[in-house]
Amino acid sequence: MADTDVELHVEFRGVSKSYDGQTLVVRDLDLDVRKGELFTLLGPSGSGKTTSLMMLAGFEAPTAGDILIDGSSVRETPPRKRGIGVVFQNYALFPHMTVGRNLSFPLEIRGVSEERQAEKVRRALEVVRLEGLQNRRPDELSGGQQQRVAIARALVSEPRLVLMDEPLGALDRRLREEMQLEIRRIQHDLGVTVVYVTHDQQEAMAMSSRVAVFHRGRIQQVADPETLYEEPEREFVARFIGDNNILRGQVTAVSGGTCVAETPGGPVKAVPVRPFRPGEPTALAIRPERVVLSSRRGLANEFEARIEEVLFIGDHLRMRLDLCGNRNFIVKIPNTVGHGAVLKGDRVRLGWAQMDCRALPDERAAV
Amino acid sequence: MARPLRSARLRAAALTLPLAAFVVVTFVAPLALMLVRSVHEPQVADALPRTLAALERWDGGSLPGEPAFRALGTELRELDGRRGLGAVATRVNRIESGMRSRMLATGRALGPGSPESWRDAVLAADPVWGEARAWLALQRAGERFTLRHYLRALDLDRDSSGAVVRISPDQRIYVPLLLRTLLVSLAITAICLVLGYPVAYLIANAPPSRSNLLLLLVLVPFWTSLLVRTTSWIVLLQNQGVVNDILVAVGLVAEDGRLALVYNMFGTLVAMTQILLPFMILPLYAVMNSISPEHMRAASSLGATFRQGFVRVYWPQTMPGVAAGSLLVFILAIGYYITPALVGGRTGQLISNMIAYHMQESLNWGLAAALGVILLACVAVLYAVFDRLVGIERMRLAS
Ligand SMILES: Nc1ncnc2c1ncn2[C@@H]1O[C@H](COP(=O)(O)OP(=O)(O)OP(=O)(O)O)[C@@H](O)[C@H]1O
Ligand SMILES: [Mg+2]
């Protein structure tokens, strides 16, 4: 509401959805998608991402609430009139048509002249870098090429809004990363708004201008990738985005922007994400790469622990310790000169700064 | 390393032997036998060897000479004595009607001993032997290998000069019957497609619990015997049957104007459509089930109405199922026998009923075999045409 200068493209207003009339798979969803951004719905399997996307595309009707596109409700607008390009999870390319025919399908339907069709198809193939594959059938293409055709088809009639449901789910890692950049580039070049669905948090981080984290049909947090990573506001987000060590404890003291929580391993100083009352349970989140192994003093939180396990990952070492009631406390140290000093069974001193430790509401009870 | 592999292969092959033997005994051998029987008829040749030898140099127009009469007389007499004359005479009769009784009479009339002139004796026994057509009939019935069953099956005949001609229109039976069979099978296939397509669509797009139930309902007819299903159609459709009763009760039909719904082509069409419908629905369902619902969604997100999406995206993808179901129903219909026999009456008979008639009643197995081969050829040709048009390898019976 505060940003009146950014133009909203899509708005979800209190949208809920139930398939069976009992369980809500999407609950009271409020979302603003801005014009020209790549907005990602991120969440584990079954959290309601596809359902939300399908409601936006018009294939499912909301049980409650309303969806607005360009400021007006689309409740009564059938999918074919919403002017939205959709890239489906399994591409949904028409197997009995060539690539060219797949692409010209929406143009033929709209009565575009033959020459204009050819021109637009050619341009769309250029955008996804598939020039010259017009006459192939989808099953004669690799997975990555099929993916590009699906994107080209969604773009060919020049929609302003494109939805993509886990478009890279079936590709191997290398191709995924390449396609992530590709989609980013296309989105940027054409200036379209993209609503993107994925359950892969790295993908979401790499591509999105903003991410909405879903859990059990509810939005946990909406923010840009960096904020999501650095300033998670919910325990679920802290655990889902990247790695985080969670220490459970009780808030004992609050003062200004800091607090102290009592854990089984002793008091820990942290930054609370919202005002806590003393005695409230809390989940403290510490990023593994922010933990420092050191004998030098000066860190707000310092402990001593035995190294239970050391894993050599390549660019970093991953140590597992038993600390403050978390038997799976992970510490990552970069693979730089002198890393060989740590061995399994060693007792080490370690610590982290207060600002690297966020006190979040404990969600165990809510789960 | 190769040896255990080979013995494993051998063992696997050995496991298929019982089936292979079964197929050979029950399918390949009868089929081969049928092919042979349709062109090979040695009975007359075996029974009248001397007569046929004597006729070899006969000009076909004038009366044959004394040796031919002698051979005929002695052989007919011997056959009569062995009670083998009836079977031979029946076969000659198929070529020239009336010959059966004449041959039997001749055989009986010839007394023992050797008459002075066989010619006079035979002519006295029956004057028909004074006509060339009687001898011609013997000669043609005596061909061991013959195409005459095929000619008969195609409503053709040879005239006196041996040229192939069509028989007079009022005697043509088999070609019209074959055409009718093809037409009826085509109609049944079309009706099954029209009725079955929406049902298969419904089942394929229903939620799993409901689609299982619907599929069960499609299969329920298979739980009862074909005979029961066919006879229940008689109960439903006969003159005093349920359908007519209802029509009369409702007032759509007058009491004395009850409709003839069975024992005619209508009965055959209705009963066969019902019986063959599952063979259309199941392949259609299998194919539709493998079409992702995303395709129709994709079509509508690309601007297509349901109609456009259906015609351009869904229907073409169901073609393999349409092809499989149609071919299956058509092939089953073209050879169907029991149902038309029971509910078809006089006008609803198909070619297989004629084959059965020649197998069981007229005992003209050669003709029955020829009709069977022609039917087989029709199916094979249609299959080939179909393969050209649709492509069998694209056809799917299951996903
Ligand atoms: N057509 C449907 N009928 C009934 N329930 C459904 C239907 N589609 C989805 N659901 C249920 O709704 C919930 C949310 O499903 P949804 O497909 O939106 O999840 P998702 O976040 O896209 O998950 P994934 O990452 O696995 O694709 C799930 O529990 C699912 O079982
Ligand atoms: Mg999904």
Gap from A85 CA to chain B (nearest CA, Å): 6
- What is the DSSP-derived secondary structure letter of residue B171? G
pLDDT at position B397 over 60: no
Same domain, A208 and A290: no
Q: Are B154 and B174 in contact (CB under 8 A)?
A: yes
For residues A259 and A352, state if they share a domain: yes
Distances B378 to A253, B30, B213, B333, B395 between C-alpha atoms, Å: 94, 19, 38, 13, 20
Phi, psi at B58, each rounded to 5° = -75, 140
pLDDT at residue A5 is higher than 80: no
> Domain check: are A99 and A119 in the same one?
yes
Q: Which residues of B touch A79 (CB under 8 A)?
A: 297, 300-301
Q: Which of A235, A270, A301 is the last residue of a domain?
A: A235
A12 and A104 housed in the same domain: yes
- Domain annotation covers residue A3: no
Q: How far is CA A263 from CA A252, A323, B12, in A?
A: 10, 10, 67
Are A56 and A157 in a shared domain? yes
Q: Residue B2: is its pLDDT beyond 70? A: no
Residue A348 lies in a domain: yes
Q: Do the domain assignments include residue A2?
A: no
Shared domain for A83 and A148, answered yes or no, is yes
Shortest alpha-carbon distance between residue B392 and chain A (Å): 16
A51 lines ligand 1 (CB under 6 A): yes
Selection from B69, B154, B155 nearest residue B114 by Cα: B69
- Can you tell me whether residue A206 is helix, strand or coil? helix
Cα distance between residue B41 and residue B141, in whole Å:
8
Measure the CA–CA gap between A282 and A360, rounded to whole angstroms: 6
Q: Is A153 on the interface with B (CB under 8 A)?
A: yes
CB of A78 within 8 Å of a chain B CB? The answer is yes
Per-residue pLDDT at A363 exceeds 90: no
A191-195, B5-9, B28-32, B288-292 — which is least confidently predicted? B5-9
Mark which of A208, A235, A262 sits at the end of a domain.
A235
Closest Cα to residue A275, out of A252, A257, A261? A257
Distance B298 CA to ligand 1 centre (A): 18
pLDDT per residue as tens digits for the range B315-330: 999 988 998 899 999 9
Distance, in Å, from the CA atom of A155 to the CA atom of A192, rounded to the nearest integer, reads 9
The mean pLDDT value for A178-192 works out to 88
Closest residue by Cα to atom 26, ligand 1, is: A45
Domain assignment present for A91: yes
The CATH fold assigned to B174-394 is MetI-like fold (1.10.3720)
Under an 8 A CB cutoff, do B298 and A157 touch? Answer: no
State how far residue A105 is from chain B, nearest Cα, in angstroms: 8
B295, B304, B313: residue with CB nearest A80: B304
Of residues B105 and A339, the one with the higher pLDDT is B105
Cβ neighbours of residue B22 closer than 8 Å, sequence gap 6 or more: none
Phi-psi map region of A132: left, alpha, beta (phi>0 left; psi -120 to 50 alpha) = left
What per-residue confidence (pLDDT) applies to B372?
93
Q: Contact at 8 Å (CB) between A261 and A282?
A: yes
Strand, coil or helix: A257: coil
Give chain A's end-to-end CA distance (angstroms, integer): 31
What distance in Å separates the CA atoms of residue B264 and residue B16, rounded to the nearest whole number? Answer: 45
What does the radius of gyration of chain A's CA atoms come to, in whole angstroms? Answer: 24
Find residue B145's DSSP bridge partners: B40
| 8 Å CB contact of B302 and A80 | yes
So where are chain B's domains?
43-142, 174-394
The pairing of strands A193-198 and A161-165 is parallel
Nearest ligand to the CA of A56 is 1
Nearest to A106 among B302, B316, B319 (CB): B302
Q: A199 CB less than 6 Å from ligand 1?
A: yes
The minimum CA-CA distance between B301 and chain A, rounded to whole Å, is 5
> Does A160 share its domain with A196?
yes
Q: Which residue has the tokens 């020829």?
A: B370
Task: Kindly identify which residue of chain A lies nearest to residue B314, measuring between CA atoms.
Answer: A94
Whether residue A1 lies inside any domain: the answer is no
- Are A137 and A273 part of one and the same domain? no
Residues A183 and A328 in one domain: no
CATH (domain of A184): 3.40.50.300
Same domain, A60 and A133: yes
Report the Cα B295 to chain-centroid distance in Å: 43
Task: Judge if A143 and A92 occupy the same domain.
Answer: yes
Confirm if B265 and A62 have CB atoms less than 8 A apart: no
Quote the pLDDT of residue B25. Answer: 93
Do A157 and B301 count as a contact with CB atoms less than 8 A apart?
Answer: no
Q: How far is the CA of A330 from the centre of ligand 2 (A)?
A: 31
Show which residues on chain B lie within 8 Å of chain A, measured between beta carbons: 292, 294-295, 297-305, 308, 312-313, 316-317, 319
Q: Is there an atom of ligand 1 within 6 Å of A62 CB?
A: no
ipTM of the complex: 0.80
Is residue A344 a part of any domain in this protein? yes
Q: Which of B287, B292, B297, B302 to mutate to test the interface with A (most CBs of A within 10 A)?
A: B302
Q: Is residue A59 part of a domain?
A: yes
Ligand 2 centroid–CA A48 distance in Å is 7
Q: What pLDDT score was predicted for residue A340?
A: 60
Instruction: Mark which of A187, A204, A235 sits at the end of a domain.
Output: A235
| Structural domain for A52, as ranges | 8-235
Contacts of B300 in chain A (CB under 8 A): 59, 78-80
Report which protein residue has its CA nearest ligand 1's atom 7.
A19
Please, are residues B48 and B87 in contact by the beta-carbon 8 Å criterion? no
Q: How many domains does chain A have?
A: 2
Q: Establish if A366 belongs to a structural domain.
A: no
Instruction: For residue B399, name the pLDDT band (cuts at 50, 70, 90).
Output: very low
β-bridge pairing A281-286 and A245-255? antiparallel
**Does the structure show a pLDDT above 90 at A212?**
yes
Each residue of B238-295: pLDDT tens digit?
988 899 999 999 988 888 888 888 889 999 999 999 999 999 999 999 999 999 888 9
> Can you tell me which residue has the tokens 């439903």?
B236
> CA B111, B114, B116 angle in degrees (round to 5)?
110
User: In this complex, do B304 and A109 lie within 8 Å of one another by their Cβ atoms?
Assistant: yes
Query: Do A23 and A169 have their domain in common?
Result: yes
Q: What is the CATH number for A332?
A: 2.40.50.100
Q: Tell me which chain A residue has its CA closest to the CA of residue B394.
A: A96
